[in-house]
Chain A
Amino acid sequence: MTEQTTATAEDLAAAGADQLPPPKTFAGRYLRTMWTANTVTVTVLAVLLALVIGGILIAVSDEAVRATFSYFFSRPSDFFSLSWDKVSDAYAQLFKGSIVDPAAVRAAANGTGTWERVFFPISETLTYAAPLALTGLAFALAFRGGLFNIGVQGQAIMGAVGAALAGFLLPLPVGIHLVVALVFGAAFGGAYGFVPGFLKARTGAHEVITTIMLNYVALFFLGWLIIQKGIQDPERSDAISKPVDDSAQLTHLLGFLGPSLRVNLGIVVAVLVVAAVAWLLRRSTFGFELRAVGLNPEASRTAGIGVGSTYVLVMTAAGALAGLGGATIVMGTAVSLTGAVIGSVGFDGLLVGLLGRAKPWGVLFAALLFGALQAGGNRMQSFSGISLELVGVIQALIVIFVAAPALVKTVFRLRPAKVSGLGTGMSKGW
């Protein structure tokens, strides 16, 4: 009974003085939560909190530290100093591996080292960040349109396939080949995003279910594809495709400083696409429809917006973004298709999209943070002997704390949240 719901919403508004009635959609609720909490503070504190818990995990997983437990009450200082050494060393390596190593700068300045080593960490960070920004956008754009795109992984795989096929099957001149391969990546991903969008618009099939299933389809399709004749690398017996032609490989931006600097045009593509999506959301007719449908499909339909066609377009666009993300991997770093060519960049995209609060520039920052953690984690693993999985734990913790700002606020005793729905942003659902 519609009248009753209206009345309840108004009762709530009256009851809570300056509170808004809770938004109806999942996306609306999530965004409301995010905007009402002071986003910057909460994000910074969430990162901090995640690092603290990560530190505890580093300490207790270290055997030398654990040995101090047996005499903890007689000499607790041992435990603390050892833990401190261990954790501070690990995080120092994380920093040196992702931003800059001061020792390398000193060495380069007085001529004993190379500039390649100075730029290596930041190059790694940007290399990892580029596809993450694109897959993060793929999630964020769909999210703003009211869709929960779990299929970023599958769409990114199809994008990688498209780009790779164009990369080693089409004999095209330098320059054009690169653009064509990127377009193929976006097109394959877009087509793969179109399917769940179309199914949702036509049959009401929930995109969460269909995209999860399509992820499997994409994964196993890739596994089948790379052992086919004409695709598989003829010089190899294992499941790997031919390498992408040089003309379709993304140019290494800092290649002149040394071959290990992998950062490539992918990050430029990512930043340009972020700017384009930001413009699309704010200034385009499609962006207006997308946001309206995402926040209130019923009102959008009543105002004459084609909700179904918007869903189809949103999923197609999201798939294209994910496809670009997959393309930048196969054209930038991986070069050949393998079963695990894109790793988990699609699933990580979900986290990046959420951490970026489904806003384009926020997604870019989140991607840089995740890229930095990934790059630093590699160094932390080899220098401090801490497994790379810890980075995954920290990334997950950051997202959990961002998704549950009430938790962060309690831990740091911030002013009580004003909105009743706070902290439930992620728990109620689609």
Chain B
Amino acid sequence: MANDDIHLTVEPGEIHALLGENGAGKSTLMNVLYGLLQPDEGEILVDDKPVQIRGPRDAIAAGIGMVHQHFMLVPVFTVAENVMLGAEQTTGGPIGFLDRRRARKLVREVSDRFRLAVDPDRTVEDLPVGVQQRVEIVKALTRDVDLLILDEPTAVLTPQETEDLLEVMRTLKAAGKSIVFITHKLKEVQAIADRITVIRRGRTVGTAAPDTSEEELASLMVGRSVLLRVDKPAVEPGAAVLEVAGLAVNDDRGHRAVDGVDLTVRAGEVLGVAGVQGNGQTELIEAIMGLRPVVAGRTTIEGRPTLGLSTREILREGVGYVPEDRSVDGLVKDFTVAENLVLDIFNTEPFGTRWVIRPDAIAKSARERVEQFDVRTDASGQAAVGTLSGGNQQKVIVAREFSRPLKLFIAAQPTRGVDVGSIEFIHRQIVHERGQGTAVLLVSSELDEVLALSDRIAVMYRGRVIAVVSPDTPREEIGLLMAGVTTEAAGVKDGHTDD
């Protein structure tokens, strides 16, 4: 059961934050409100009147709109075309020409009224993510909704874009709209919410005021007190382990994604790479791992060139790798936990040889890892990994990579979509590994994570490292760097007009 006895009341003109870990049931609840799922028990009241919501159409009729985490936009359509999609109006009688003019006018009106700054004639795929999100909001508003559900809206935004979004939310609130704001980011909740409802394991565990401290909110979410800061003992960094020089890499479409990057990661240090998603971080790491062809430059591990080596050979050099997208690149979901725990070492002793694998050894090791890394699954490790929660899936990957001696550990978004408890655990493991003298390259779009773990921070923007700064640098400054505003140009205010 994903939702069990949930109570939620949203007042008119209120920003109501719905806070909970991944898998706590936030999305399920919202899908019920939006008619995508039917409740087994209980009722939904709009303006004190019970309503039946059998689908999104009913929801919109009841004045409920939703902005999904995954945008429901047609990339090649213009903003106006996207907005009228599903509610097309026509002229010209039975032949029915699409009335684009009216759609454009509507978009302009709504956009002006709520200060959304959306141009109806732009093609959606050309717009930055933050603007695409505003298109979704416009879409909902043109359907005359009173309650807007925003499902994890800030997950894909830069700090600046997040600021803009919060401003939009304030405007909507001033216009009398109610907003349900789903998130697991405590800072944003404190910044904007009027009231906070916390959900844990499908139940509402409490309603809190926005001045509740981060620690209190976190412990409400997780059900116990959590360590938000990472205790990081000082380690004297050793020799350079990974060196990247002049690296240039293309993305899947053949555009230059990494454009002359130089990096050094030393033993016993965490080098954090901060940057908005899509600025070349993914390609950089894939190139280092031998997963993507390199156009120019070189990479060395402990002085030995690794370009041209296969991924398996690079892993065998003592490199651990947590890929960015665990469900696509990290795990074989239909394989058991045990099989996934040996996905890159199944043909080495003691798990197997060149020719055969040893299921007994694999199962035995799985039982140990499951316990050691606190993976919540049946102790034998024989469940399909796809049945585990996101946090536990991630622990399986981390357990796999940490189960052999490492020189270099590369982690991309190691805690994305992972609950607070697992984040804490994974962070501790990374710090522990650093203490063992492993060089760590951490890529994360969560600035907080980069700040908490890193000894040095490299900021990537449009395929280049535009600055390497200390983790004591103020958030705002790093935020500006992430938007491409370097120190000398920091006076220019509008630094994020594109990308």
Segment of A23-31, A78-86, A327-335 engaged in the interface with chain B: A23-31
Asked if B417 is at the interface of the complex by the 8 Å CB criterion, the answer is: yes
Q: List A contacts of B422 (CB < 8 A).
A: none
Interface string of B62-73 (1 = CB under 8 A from A): 000000011100
B458 to chain A, nearest CB (A): 21
* Chain B residues whose C-beta falls within 8 Å of the C-beta of A32 in the assembled complex: 334
CB < 8 Å neighbour of A5 from B327, B344, B386? B327
A366–B296 Cα distance when bound, in Å, is 54
Q: A4-B70, A285-B354, A285-B355 are in contact. Are A295 and B332 (CB under 8 A)?
A: yes
- Chain A 7-23, CB-CB to B under 8 Å as 1, else 0, gives 11111011111101101
**Interface 0/1 of B27-50, CB less than 8 Å to A:** 110010000110000000000000
A13 touching B353, Cβ below 8 Å: no
Query: Is A2 interfacial (CB 8 A cutoff)?
Result: yes
> Closest chain A residue to B340 by CB distance?
A299
Chain A residues, CB < 8 A from B466:
none
Contact A292 B335 (CB under 8 A): yes
Q: Which residues of A contact B324 (CB under 8 A)?
A: 2
A291 located at the interface, meaning its Cβ lies under 8 Å from any Cβ of chain B in the complex:
yes
Closest A residue, CB atoms, query B321: A302
Please indicate the chain A residues that have their CB under 8 angstroms from the CB of B343 in the complex. Answer: 292, 299-300, 303
B328 near A305 with CB under 8 A, answer no
Q: Is B25 an interface residue (CB 8 A)?
A: yes
Cα A15 to Cα B30 with chains together (Å) = 10
Q: Can you list, as one digit per residue, whether each of B91-125 has a CB less than 8 Å from chain A (1) or not (0)?
A: 00000000000000000000000000000000000
In whole Å, how far is B387's beta carbon from the nearest beta carbon of chain A? 6
With A14-B23, A15-B36, A304-B312 given, is the CB distance from A284 to B357 under 8 Å? yes
- Residue from A20, A23, A284, A296 in contact with B355 in the complex, judged by beta carbons closer than 8 Å: A284
Which listed residue (B129, B313, B332) contacts A300, Cβ 8 A? B332
Q: In the assembled complex, how far is the CB of residue A389 from the closest CB belonging to chain B, in whole angstroms?
A: 38
Is A1 engaged at the interface, CB distance under 8 Å to the other chain?
yes
Kindly report which residue of chain B lies nearest to residue A31, judged by CB atoms.
Answer: B334
B331 A288 Cβ-Cβ under 8 A:
no
CB distance from B246 to the nearest CB of A (A): 25
Interface residue? A283 (CB, 8 A): yes
Fill in one digit per residue for A91-134: 1 if any B CB lies within 8 Å of its CB, else 0. Answer: 00000000000000000000000000000000000000000000
Any A CB within 8 A of the CB of B369: no
Q: Are B328 and A285 in contact (CB under 8 A)?
A: no
Contact of A296 with B328 in the complex, beta carbons under 8 Å: yes
State whether A15 touches B37 (Cβ < 8 A): yes
Q: Is B433 located at the chain interface by the 8 A CB criterion?
A: no
Find out whether the CB atom of A8 lies under 8 angstroms from the CB atom of B70: yes
The answer to whether A6 and B333 touch across the interface, beta carbons within 8 angstroms, is: no
In angstroms, Cα B335 to Cα A287, docked, is 13
- The verdict on A1 contacting B333 (CB below 8 Å), with A301-B311, A304-B315 known, is no
B70–A7 contact, CB under 8 A? Answer: yes
Residues in chain B near residue A4, CB distance under 8 A: 69-71, 156
Query: Given A1-B156, A15-B31, A285-B347 in contact, is the A7-B417 Cβ separation under 8 Å?
Result: yes
A299 touches B328 (CB 8 A): yes
* B291 at the binding interface (Cβ < 8 Å): yes
| Cβ contacts under 8 Å, A10 to chain B | 22-23, 27, 390, 417
B359 to chain A, nearest CB (A): 7
Question: For window 347-361 of chain B, which residues contact chain A by CB distance below 8 Å?
Answer: 347, 352-357, 359
What distance in Å separates the Cβ of A313 from its nearest Cβ neighbour in chain B?
13
- On chain B, the residues within 8 Å of A303 by CB distance are 311, 315, 343-344
Hey, which chain A residues are within 8 Å of B27, CB to CB? Answer: 10-11, 14-15
A26, chain B: closest CB distance, angstroms = 13
Please determine whether B156 and A296 come into contact, CB atoms closer than 8 angstroms.
no
Interchain nearest-CB distance for B276 vs A (Å): 12
Which residues on the B side are within 8 Å of A7 (C-beta)? Answer: 69-70, 152, 155, 417
Which of B328, B344, B354 has the most chain A CB atoms closer than 10 A to its own CB? B328
Contact A6-B310, Cβ < 8 Å, known A284-B355, A295-B335, A301-B291? no
Residues of B within 8 A of A204 (CB): none
CA of A196 to CA of B311, assembled, Å: 24
Is A306 an interface position by the 8 A CB rule? yes
B326 at the interface (CB under 8 A from A): yes
A-side interface mostly: helix
A3 touches B312 (CB 8 A): no
Tell whether B416 is near chain A: CB-to-CB under 8 Å.
yes
Which size class do B's interface residues fall under? 35 or more
CB of A298 within 8 Å of the partner chain: yes
Residues of B close to A298: CB separation below 8 A: 328-329
Nearest A residue to B331, CB-CB: A299
The answer to whether B387 and A299 touch across the interface, beta carbons within 8 angstroms, is no
A23 to B386, CA, bound (A): 9
Q: B144 at the A/B interface (Cβ < 8 Å)?
A: no
- Shortest distance between the CB of B286 and any CB in chain A (Å): 9
Contact with A along B369-390 (1 / 0, CB 8 A): 0000000000000001011011
User: Contacting A302 at CB < 8 Å: which of B152, B311, B346, B357?
Assistant: B311
- CB neighbours (8 Å) of A28 from chain B are 333-334
A20 touches B333 (CB 8 A): yes
**Contact of A283 with B359 in the complex, beta carbons under 8 Å:** yes
Q: Residues of B contacting A288 with CB < 8 Å?
A: 339, 346-347, 352, 357
When C-beta atoms are compared, the residue in chain B nearest to A19 turns out to be B387
Cβ of B85 < 8 Å from any Cβ of A?
Answer: no
B414 at the interface (CB under 8 A from A): no
Cα–Cα distance between A14 and B32 once the two chains are bound (Å): 12
B326 in complex: contacting residue of A6, A18, A31, A305, CB < 8 Å: A6
A3 & B277 in contact (Cβ 8 Å cutoff): yes
Expressed in whole angstroms, the minimum distance between the Cβ of A173 and any Cβ of chain B is: 32
- Min CB–CB distance B372 → chain A (angstroms): 20
How far, in whole Å, are A16 and B32 apart by their CA atoms in the complex? 12
Considering the chains assembled together, what is the distance between the CA atoms of A301 and B354 in angstroms?
18
Q: In the complex, are the beta carbons of A305 and B334 less than 8 A apart?
A: no
Across-interface contacts of B384 in A (CB, < 8 A): 20
B1 interface residue per 8 A CB criterion: yes
Q: How far in angstroms is the closest Cβ of chain B from A194? A: 21
A27–B197 Cα distance when bound, in Å, is 42
Q: Which of A267-301 contact B (CB under 8 A)?
A: 282-288, 291-292, 295-296, 298-301
- How many angstroms between the C-alpha atoms of A31 and B335 in the bound complex? 12
How far does the Cβ of B222 sit from chain A's closest Cβ, in whole Å?
A: 17
Q: Is the CB of A304 within 8 A of B386?
A: no
One of B1, B334, B346, B390 near A285 (C-beta < 8 A): B346
Question: Is B69 in contact with A8, judged by CB distance below 8 angstroms?
Answer: yes
The A339-396 residues at the B interface (CB cut-off 8 A) are: none
> Which chain A positions have C-beta within 8 A of B71?
4
In the assembled complex, the CB of A9 is this many whole angstroms from the nearest CB of chain B, namely: 6
Which residues of A (387-430) have their CB < 8 Å from a CB of B? none
CB neighbours (8 Å) of B356 from chain A are 283-285
Asked whether A295 lies within 8 Å of B355 as measured between CB atoms, the reply is no
Write the chain A residue with the least CB distance to B334.
A295
CB within 8 Å of A: which of B294-337?
Answer: 310-316, 321, 323-335
Query: Can you add 10 more A-B contacts, CB < 8 Å, to A1-B277, A296-B332?
Result: A14-B28, A28-B333, A285-B357, A288-B347, A295-B333, A296-B333, A299-B329, A302-B330, A303-B344, A304-B313
Q: What are 11 A-B contacts with C-beta separation under 8 Å? A: A1-B156, A3-B416, A5-B70, A10-B23, A10-B417, A21-B333, A288-B357, A298-B329, A299-B332, A303-B311, A304-B316
In the complex, the 6 A-B pairs of residues with the closest C-beta atoms, listed nearest first = A304-B312, A303-B344, A2-B325, A303-B343, A4-B70, A296-B332
Interface residues of B (CB under 8 A from A): 1-2, 22-23, 25-28, 31, 36-37, 69-71, 129, 152, 155-156, 277-278, 282, 289, 291, 310-316, 321, 323-335, 339, 343-344, 346-347, 352-357, 359, 384, 386-387, 389-390, 413, 416-417
